[in-house]
């Protein structure tokens, strides 16, 4: 990008030219001011062409990197999620393109994606908070036991988990599941497409990029609790997002600051890249084995991905 100072210099040069033209007229410095403007315009043009060339090169290298990683990792993830059923849950304003890429990666690894559940912003609206607890109590089923120290949003996560998830992949959608999904859908808190036939045993939660202005990390407390509830009601959960979500003001940053959450929920902060989508697959394999890890490129405690040895063994 051309530095703003170039524009300042150009403007100053124009005023100089105007002033010189008035004072000097056709005097001995005739043409000097106009030459200054012409020289600056040439420098601006050259800088713009260089910036454009740099952008094209960077885009080409990014494409090469992504294409290379996609081809190399495709073989590594083949069959890793065979016989596994995965639900995808998207948080409000999560990117559809990234979600589609994650689903494609899961299916190429052998997983059956049972459904996609979109959460409505109203679910985490502080003005609606007092309505969530009664709804949770209304939808709870006899086979759901809330931990003694659980809070409203952990319980809400457990309720949604009972609707679309289970601890094994042999559970079909039953009348209790239908009741839960109908209750949440009728309350305009979730949208479920397609209606699943089976309950998944694993879940990927897709985070959105942080809004502007950036919120305080503590504002995600309810969302983190909700994701914990999803994990408790399944064989494992991975929270995935773009790198921005792992910086201050993002959901992954908030989750990674919660010691209780990181003990059970995994995270991947490069879900917008083929390498990150492969990492989600390996993180789900790790979750199915009862372990959790924080992976990616932004302050990820456990590195870029589960180790190659671990991935091979799994």
Q: What are 54-79's pLDDT values in tens digits?
A: 777 666 666 666 666 666 666 889 99
Instruction: Please tell me the distance from the alpha carbon of residue 50 to that of residue 43, in angstroms, as a whole number.
Output: 11
With beta carbons less than 8 A apart as the criterion, state whether 139 and 164 touch: no
Which region, left, alpha or beta, applies to residue 186 given φ > 0 means left and ψ of -120 to 50 means alpha? Answer: alpha
- CA-nearest of 172, 284, 87, 13 to 292 is 284
Q: Which of 29-33, 41-45, 50-54, 205-209 has the highest mean pLDDT?
A: 205-209
How high is the pLDDT of residue 58?
Answer: 65
Q: What percent of the chain has pLDDT over 90?
A: 71
How high is the pLDDT of residue 134?
Answer: 95
Whether omega before 57 lies within 30 degrees of 0, making that bond cis, reads no
Instruction: Please tell me the distance from the alpha carbon of residue 10 to that of residue 138, in angstroms, as a whole number.
Output: 68
- HSE toward the beta carbon, residue 223, CA cutoff 13 A: 26
List all residues 6 or more positions away from 56 whose beta carbon is below 8 Å from its beta carbon.
none
Instruction: Please tell me the distance from the alpha carbon of residue 102 to that of residue 271, in angstroms, as a whole number.
Output: 7
- CA-nearest of 303, 289, 153 to 222 is 153
Instruction: Please tell me the distance from the alpha carbon of residue 86 to that of residue 114, in angstroms, as a whole number.
Output: 6
Computed over every residue of the chain, the mean pLDDT equals 87
Query: Where is average pLDDT lowest: 120-134, 234-248, 263-277?
Result: 120-134
- CA-nearest of 82, 96, 59, 89 to 238 is 89
Rg for the chain (alpha carbons), in Å?
A: 27
pLDDT band at 50 (very low <50, low <70, confident <90, very high): confident
Instruction: Please tell me the distance from the alpha carbon of residue 38 to that of residue 263, in angstroms, as a whole number.
Output: 63
Select the more confidently predicted residue: 57 or 2. Answer: 57
If you average pLDDT over residues 104-131, what whole number do you get? 95
Tell me the backbone φ, ψ of residue 92, rounded to 5 degrees.
-50, 135
């Amino acid at each position: 990008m051309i530095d703003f100072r170039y524009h300042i210099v150009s403007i100053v040069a124009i005023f100089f030219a105007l002033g010189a033209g008035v004072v000097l007229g056709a005097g001995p410095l005739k043409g000097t001011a106009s030459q200054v403007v012409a020289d600056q315009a040439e420098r601006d043009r050259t800088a713009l062409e260089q910036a454009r060339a740099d952008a094209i090169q960077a885009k080409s290298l990014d494409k090469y990197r992504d294409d290379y990683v996609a081809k190399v990792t495709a073989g590594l993830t083949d069959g890793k999620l065979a016989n596994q059923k995965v639900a995808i849950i998207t948080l409000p304003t999560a990117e559809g393109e990234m979600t589609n890429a994650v689903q494609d990666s899961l299916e190429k690894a052998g997983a059956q994606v049972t459904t996609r559940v979109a959460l409505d912003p109203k679910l985490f609206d502080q003005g609606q908070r007092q309505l969530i607890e009664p709804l949770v109590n209304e939808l709870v089923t006899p086979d759901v036991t809330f931990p003694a120290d659980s809070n409203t949003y952990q319980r809400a996560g457990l309720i949604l988990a009972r609707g679309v998830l289970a601890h094994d992949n042999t559970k079909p959608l039953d009348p209790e599941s239908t009741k839960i999904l109908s209750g949440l859908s009728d309350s305009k808190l979730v949208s479920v497409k397609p209606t699943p036939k089976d309950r998944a045993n694993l879940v990927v939660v897709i985070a959105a990029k942080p809004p502007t202005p950036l919120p305080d990390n503590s504002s995600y407390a309810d969302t983190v609790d909700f994701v914990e509830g999803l994990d408790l009601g399944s064989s494992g959960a991975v929270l995935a997002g773009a790198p921005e979500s792992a910086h201050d003001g993002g959901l992954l940053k908030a989750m990674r600051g919660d010691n209780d959450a990181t003990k059970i929920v995994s995270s991947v902060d490069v879900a917008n890249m083929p390498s990150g989508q492969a990492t989600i697959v390996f993180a789900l394999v790790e979750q199915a084995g009862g372990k959790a890890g924080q992976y990616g490129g932004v302050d990820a405690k456990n590195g870029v991905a589960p180790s190659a040895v671990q991935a091979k063994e799994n």
